[in-house]
Structure 1
Amino acid sequence: MPIPGNLLSATTETIDPNTSGWTSHLNCTILPGIGGRTGGGGCLSVRSVAAGEMQARTVSSYPITSGATYYAFADTAGVVGERIGIRWMFGGIQLAITWSVPTTGSSSAWHRVSVAGVAPGGATHAQVLLSSTETAGSVSHFWENVYLGAPIRTIGNLLPFNTESTEVDATGWAPVVNASISRQVPVMGWAVDNYLAGGQTLAMTAVAAGNASILAVDRPTVTPGQEYLAYAYLQPPTVASTAWIELRYYDSNGNQIQATRSTLGPPTPATGMYRQRVSDKAPANAATCSLAAGLDGASAGQVLRLETIVITAAPELQSGTVVPYADGSFEQGVAGWTVVSGVATLARTSPWGDSYFEGSYSLAITSSTASASTVRSARFPVTEGVNWRALLLAHPDAGSWSTVGVRIRWYDAADTDLGASTGVNWGMPGSSWYALPSDAVAPAGATQAAIELVVTATATASVLHVDQVVLWEVLPQTAVEAHSDDGYITLTLREMPLDFYLSLYRVTPDGARSLVRGASGLIDMQPIVSDLLVVEDHEAPLGVPVYYLAAIRNADGTTASSRASETVTLTLADANTAWLKDPANPQRSMRVLVQRAPDWQRPIEQASFVVRGRRNKVVLSGRRQGLEGNLAIWTRSDEEREALHLLLDSGNTLLWQAAPGMGVTDMYVSVAQITESRVGALAQEQWRAWTLPLVEQDMPTTVGVNGAAGRTWQDILTEFATWQDVLTEFATWEDVFLNRRTG
């Protein structure tokens, strides 16, 4: 699929099916290449005419906004280093070029180069330049997966784009001790669809032997008590030293009040990029935060590189879990886990990526003898009288284990031990990752709970790995709610199994099934990527009881399991009104007052022939077409009138829904030229009479519900310094919601 937001055409981006989007700019010829990683497998071969720098550029110039930041990247391969640039234009005149830092080496394998810059004053268009300096003529350099557009940043990141990526410069970072800062472009391969990873990295160089560190200049605001997660890709030096990142909190006076460090486990081999995570709750007097990184025991000249640097609200390993990320993921250590009894010892797995289910590490429980040990977590807040479920994933790594018991220990507000639940003992028959749940109702007075594991080794030097530990109040797996005033039904699916596929149906009393629409179109064999799914069904019928059937499928389409919701009905209080909905943009849907329903026509293509000597003509007919007619409605205020214009402006297929018993079934329609008439002579009269010519349509199947997944006001706060910047970048509030920029 095309890169979201790319100003370049799909052909120019992927060089499939041809090279028509590219032309020679300096000392080269353009040829089609093979072996690309995107859809059709094509790539751009830029061949040198003579030794020296050669440059290719896009044929087209793309409209841009002066003063805005733009980003370009490409995947490339060749025998020399390379760089990418953005060429700023006014008409056909070149105003400036913003070049990336050249790569530190070369590779015949695909790797990423990128650059970002602010469009200079007077610039109206931009082109992408691809450059390499060959040592001879007739040498090819290869390019594909090219992007030009707005900066691509991590949704929810509290740090701005340039601090996350250093694509513009390194001004988002400052040395703390024994360090200098620069930008470098190592030869680094990324997944073809990892659009967050660029080519330019933040490079910290140790000035002298000893500890060295740097710190992000930005101080994003935080909420006391909220848990935050910071992470970055680290490329440590190959010579021994300890690389780390640190999440720091500051009070309103700028004083550092807390620092939580996470050390990179020694990777093997230490040549790539390794994502390291750190998390902690903001203390009560926290106002801002930042991220530090460094090397302990560095040698003079050692370099630590960072890429995709993020601070964000910590994710839930399970929807509703009360276990903090650090205690459930073990990314920075064993957190609050301790050995209560027995010979077991606890540690974070090593090296980096050796054994994990989530993140890069897990908890390693080692028993030196064949015996039982009890391991307990820290305490987490709970509510008495409700059912709680503890769940963890366990993997026997060495030796053998007979059972792993999972139970919940309860405490009151005074930290008094109220006893443990009965728990469940699980056998460990092999070496896979096993999900081990245990349910219990919190007793009266319970305000805290800890998760206890009773692990029984049956051999010396046995090792058990544990990851993704969660504890949550068990809510209904499937819940449904009708919102009749707003014309839609909300379906909530909890505890969904990851790595399966979902097909979601709406079922009416006659047994008919209809697929429900999601962000990517109708939900049919959609990958399950979260344990929680909330769907708003804006196409549910009015006055008809419906329920929802979730079919959870294997990759081959066979059904692994299924679940059904309760029955629910949408109502329409006023039979004189009807809904007009845009399935792709439900925020535009509106209820209108009906003046008169259409008098339907059903056109048909016919050709008639007069046969000499016969009384009757011979008529050849096509198939009779769908309904066509004029719907007459009123709007009763200027707000309704503007809302109807917004609904109709796109020309999208709409859904018309009338009250049951009005002789009209739900119908997808296109609307032709509309007529808006005044209903009185007074200029101040706000009522309008509308005539909407409708043509029946098939239900759109590939249209998804527009939105910006995960986007919050925090993203607006991070990206824009003033409200004027927001007004400049977006035409409407809907554009803010959808992240649809004018540039």
Structure 2
Amino acid sequence: MAIPGNLLSPTTEMVDPNISGWTTKSNCLPAKGAGGRNGDGCLLVRSLAAGEAQVRTVSSYSITAGVTYQAFADASGATVPERIGIRWLTAAGTEVSITWSLVTMAAAAAWHRISVAGTAPVGAAKAQVVLSMMTPAAAGVVSYFENVYLGLPVRTTGNLFGFGTESTELDASGWTPEVNATISRQVPVVSWAVDWYYAGGHTLAVTAGAAGNAAVGSVDRPAVTPGAEYLCYAYLQPPTMASACWIELRFFDSNGNQVQATRAALAAPGTGFYRQLLSAVAPAGAASCGFAAGVDGAAAGQVLRLETVVVRSLTPLVTGTVLPYASSSFEQGIGGWTVTAGAATLARTTPWGAAAYAGNYSLAATSATATTSTIRSPLAPVTEGVNWRARIIVRQGAGSWTSVRVRTHWYDSGGGDLGTSTGLAYALPAGSWYQLTSDAVAPAGTAQAAVEVVAAAGATASVLWVDAVALWQVLPLSSVTAVPADGYIQLTLRELPDGYLYSVYRITPDGLRALVRGPSGLIDQHPVTSDAMILEDHEAPLGVQVYYRIELYSSPGVIASTRSTDPVLLTLADINTAWIKDPGNPQRNCLVLVQTAPDWERPIEQAVHVVRGRRNKVVLAGRRQGLEGDLAVWTRSDAERAALHLLLDSGNTLLWQAAPGMGVDDMYVAVANVSEDRVTRLAQEQWRAWTLPLTEQDMPVTTGVNGAAGRTWQDVVAEFATCADLLPVYATSEDLLLDRRTG
């Protein structure tokens, strides 16, 4: 599979179907090997003599001096360890320098990740990837490489920390020792998933200086918003399975004083890398945050390793849930849940990964006797008079449970008890996770609510695992809104099931249906990426009432359910105007004033033959082609003129939409040579008369809607210190939106 953003070709990246992207740099003979992970092929590198052996990419790739780049690969070598480098070249191909990674800590036959990052030095215009076997003792030593990347740093979208602090691929300057610790970088042998590009290579090594507690903290203090909920995580590799390792999210006021710290301990099942999650709400007065990690009771010289440190705004388990993440996913404890009746006791499951539906832990409710117990979540704010849905996802951990009831407990603003909803009781079979829900309308005076679970144990020592708890206001599963000012219909989809596929159709009054366009093209059995999604249909017809049909698939081709929206009408305020749209770049869409509609022609290819002695010619014709004609429009301001230029610059297939009743249907068109004329001789006149030669086209099928792909201004702030730093990187504001960088 092609790695997103890779400057290398698929053949060079995957070493399939050949090794044409690679050549010897020193002391080796490259060949094609088998048994790779990103395709079957891999790069087999055999040493020719004792000493370091290196291969490099055949091609060199254009880069920009002063910009940070990353390279990584998967490696396998049972005899000697490896390293990876970025070789910087001048425009003429002369080597400037090589930025090397540290050497892998051990040789290993298992596939493992090696990685390096560095800033292109002054004078560099091109770069190559260099792969190295470190000092084989003789000829004939073999290592394997594949899944190679060169490009901009791969960082977690939304991370408040920059790439350097997240990954330590550049250096360890984003971290500082706090207690009994020294820090360094190491490259342990770790096997990551072939398509997981956020981890691998350098890790932050925290070494205890003496027996006792050891801790490090981040140097970065990114800004936060009081009252907002944040999620942080890091991959931890404990020194031993029994080590008491932890992470901590800290909040600071504007003077740098710590005002809150929330900690989560890792219950490690071994000595591998495990992702520990932690959430917290920024308190009043919080201005920035920091991250810390450590190990309690360490022996002198023990090492805790950190990888992929992330702090970001929290995405809730269910859109609109009022329960905090800590009380829903139980990643740092029992989340404030209590036992209000019965013999049950509560604890976070252990160890890491033993029982979880969301994250790595769940709430374990243990009943020593075969009796009924009631457990309750913390209170959360709700609104009276509207319908609320409580959800839990549960599984039998041990024993049996004859009944599990889900209900909502209502309270006023002062904590006064307003009673409980009836809820729904479910039988709970063994062997799998089950989603249990119940709906209820909050009574008058309600300001707070809690989720309650009433569980009847059917045997002694029964354990119930509870996870992914949510409480949210029930809104329509699908809703539509016309946005005539921008010429599109907004479609909102809610409560989409995780792991399903979905298709979205637009249906017109004549019964014809057409697939709606999404980020990856027409939405036809695409994976559900969130439980709530907002789509913009910029190709909806004008002046025609339409509705949308949503089909949900549990697996490819297997429809699980369908939904339909209410009808919606998209109008055009002025019938003398028309939309010209770029289906893949709706930010470029233009509303123009029509001067003259086209006089259409439909060309046809014909060969005319004169037959001697015959009156009529013989004409051999192909299929008559689509419409062609000139559309004359006006732009009325410099801004409209610039916008139309931007729309036409790409040469993409466009969509022309006129008001109903104007004698033309919506049409996909290609625009040929364009003329732009002044309407008067007055220099200050902003009006322009345009002639757009149109040729009818088929609807583009694979074109997806470009967008920010989850990027926000926080991602820009994490990477760039000032607005001036953006100028050499992005040519236009659209390039900034789509993260299209120069070089």
After TM superposition, the score normalised by the length of structure 2 is: 0.98
> Which residue matches 1:99?
100
| SS at 2:103 equivalent | coil
Could you give the per-residue CA deviations for residues 421-442 of structure 1, whole angstroms, max 9, x where no partner exists? 1111111122311111111111
Q: Cα offset for 1:610? A: 2.1
Q: Which amino acid aligns with 1:680?
A: T
> Which residue matches 2:68?
69
Greater alpha carbon shift after TM alignment, 374-383 vs 55-64: 55-64
> Which residue matches 1:135?
137
Is the 2:82–2:103 contact (alpha carbons within 8 Å) kept by the matching residues of 1? yes
> Which residue matches 2:377?
377
User: How far apart, CA to CA, are the structure 2 residues paired with 1:608 and 1:307?
Assistant: 73
Q: Cα offset for 1:182? A: 0.7
> Which residue matches 1:703?
703
User: How far apart, CA to CA, are the structure 2 residues paired with 1:171 and 1:495?
Assistant: 43
Q: 1:710-725 residue pairs with structure 2 within 5 A?
A: 710-725=710-725
> Which residue matches 2:288?
288
> Which residue matches 1:400?
400
Q: Cα offset for 1:198? A: 2.9
Could you give the per-residue CA deviations for residues 19-57 of structure 1, whole angstroms, max 9, x where no partner exists? 22211111112212222222x422222221112211111
User: How far apart, CA to CA, are the structure 2 residues paired with 1:625 and 1:680?
Assistant: 37
> Which residue matches 1:254?
256
Q: Cα offset for 1:659? A: 0.6
Is the 1:164–1:310 contact (alpha carbons within 8 Å) kept by the matching residues of 2? yes
User: How far apart, CA to CA, are the structure 1 residues paired with 2:96 and 2:143?
Assistant: 27
Q: Which amino acid aligns with 1:735?
A: D
> Which residue matches 2:126?
125
> Which residue matches 1:574?
574
Q: Which amino acid aligns with 2:308?
A: T
Q: 1:612-691 residue pairs with structure 2 within 5 A?
A: 612-691=612-691
Is the 1:167–1:198 contact (alpha carbons within 8 Å) kept by the matching residues of 2? no
Is the 2:263–2:278 contact (alpha carbons within 8 Å) kept by the matching residues of 1? yes
Unaligned regions of 5+ residues in structure 1, if any? none
| SS at 1:633 equivalent | strand
| SS at 1:289 equivalent | strand
Is the 1:632–1:691 contact (alpha carbons within 8 Å) kept by the matching residues of 2? yes
Q: Cα offset for 1:18? A: 2.0
Q: Percent identity?
A: 65
Q: 1:118-517 residue pairs with structure 2 within 5 A?
A: 118-133=119-134, 134-238=136-240, 240-267=242-269, 270-517=270-517
> Which residue matches 2:23?
23
Q: Which amino acid aligns with 2:205?
A: A
User: How far apart, CA to CA, are the structure 2 residues paired with 1:68 and 1:429?
Assistant: 57
Is the 2:321–2:473 contact (alpha carbons within 8 Å) kept by the matching residues of 1? yes
> Which residue matches 1:78?
77
Could you give the per-residue CA deviations for residues 574-621 of structure 1, whole angstroms, max 9, x where no partner exists? 111110000000000011111111111112122222222212222211
Q: Which amino acid aligns with 1:254?
A: G
| SS at 1:176 equivalent | strand
Q: Which amino acid aligns with 2:669?
A: V
Could you give the per-residue CA deviations for residues 444-493 of structure 1, whole angstroms, max 9, x where no partner exists? 11111111111110100000000000000111111000111110000111
User: How far apart, CA to CA, are the structure 2 residues paired with 1:440 and 1:560?
Assistant: 26
Is 1:5 the counterpart of 2:5 in the alignment? yes
Q: Which amino acid aligns with 1:241?
A: S
Q: Cα offset for 1:238? A: 2.5
Is 1:108 the counterpart of 2:112 in the alignment? no
> Which residue matches 2:50?
51
Could you give the per-residue CA deviations for residues 630-684 of structure 1, whole angstroms, max 9, x where no partner exists? 1111111111111011001111110011110111101111111111111111121
Q: Cα offset for 1:516? A: 0.4
* Cα RMSD for the two superposed structures: 1.1
Is the 1:208–1:299 contact (alpha carbons within 8 Å) kept by the matching residues of 2? yes
User: How far apart, CA to CA, are the structure 1 residues paired with 2:246 and 2:708?
Assistant: 33
Is the 1:232–1:307 contact (alpha carbons within 8 Å) kept by the matching residues of 2? yes
Q: Which amino acid aligns with 2:263?
A: R
User: How far apart, CA to CA, are the structure 2 residues paired with 1:125 and 1:86?
Assistant: 10
Q: Which amino acid aligns with 1:50?
A: A
Could you give the per-residue CA deviations for residues 206-265 of structure 1, whole angstroms, max 9, x where no partner exists? 111111010011011111111111100111112632111011111111111211110011
| SS at 2:429 equivalent | coil
Q: Cα offset for 1:701? A: 0.6
Q: Which amino acid aligns with 2:254?
A: S
User: How far apart, CA to CA, are the structure 2 residues paired with 1:498 and 1:566?
Assistant: 24
Q: Cα offset for 1:89? A: 1.2
User: How far apart, CA to CA, are the structure 2 residues paired with 1:676 and 1:147?
Assistant: 45
User: How far apart, CA to CA, are the structure 2 residues paired with 1:604 and 1:144?
Assistant: 52
Greater alpha carbon shift after TM alignment, 398-407 vs 127-136: 127-136
User: How far apart, CA to CA, are the structure 1 residues paired with 2:735 and 2:682?
Assistant: 35
Q: Which amino acid aligns with 1:539?
A: E
Is the 1:539–1:583 contact (alpha carbons within 8 Å) kept by the matching residues of 2? yes
User: How far apart, CA to CA, are the structure 2 residues paired with 1:638 and 1:17?
Assistant: 52
> Which residue matches 1:551?
551
Is the 1:323–1:471 contact (alpha carbons within 8 Å) kept by the matching residues of 2? yes
User: How far apart, CA to CA, are the structure 2 residues paired with 1:371 and 1:462?
Assistant: 10
Q: 1:590-629 residue pairs with structure 2 within 5 A?
A: 590-629=590-629
Unaligned regions of 5+ residues in structure 2, if any? none
Greater alpha carbon shift after TM alignment, 581-590 vs 18-27: 18-27
Is the 1:73–1:115 contact (alpha carbons within 8 Å) kept by the matching residues of 2? yes
Is the 1:499–1:528 contact (alpha carbons within 8 Å) kept by the matching residues of 2? yes
Q: Which amino acid aligns with 1:654?
A: L
User: How far apart, CA to CA, are the structure 2 residues paired with 1:7 and 1:266?
Assistant: 38
Q: Cα offset for 1:266? A: 2.5
User: How far apart, CA to CA, are the structure 1 residues paired with 2:638 and 2:137?
Assistant: 68
| SS at 1:639 equivalent | helix
User: How far apart, CA to CA, are the structure 2 residues paired with 1:288 and 1:305?
Assistant: 25
User: How far apart, CA to CA, are the structure 1 residues paired with 2:319 and 2:726?
Assistant: 32
Moved over 6 A (4+): none
> Which residue matches 1:41?
40
Is the 1:370–1:459 contact (alpha carbons within 8 Å) kept by the matching residues of 2? yes
Is the 2:496–2:531 contact (alpha carbons within 8 Å) kept by the matching residues of 1? yes
User: How far apart, CA to CA, are the structure 1 residues paired with 2:226 and 2:173?
Assistant: 28
Could you give the per-residue CA deviations for residues 161-195 of structure 1, whole angstroms, max 9, x where no partner exists? 00000000001000011111011111111111111
Q: Cα offset for 1:518? A: 0.4
Query: What is the aligned residue count?
Result: 740
Q: Which amino acid aligns with 1:54?
A: A
Greater alpha carbon shift after TM alignment, 284-293 vs 28-37: 28-37
Q: Which amino acid aligns with 2:613?
A: G
User: How far apart, CA to CA, are the structure 1 residues paired with 2:439 and 2:554?
Assistant: 27
After TM superposition, the score normalised by the length of structure 1 is: 0.98
User: How far apart, CA to CA, are the structure 2 residues paired with 1:205 and 1:376?
Assistant: 42
User: How far apart, CA to CA, are the structure 2 residues paired with 1:494 and 1:624?
Assistant: 46
User: How far apart, CA to CA, are the structure 2 residues paired with 1:684 and 1:514?
Assistant: 45
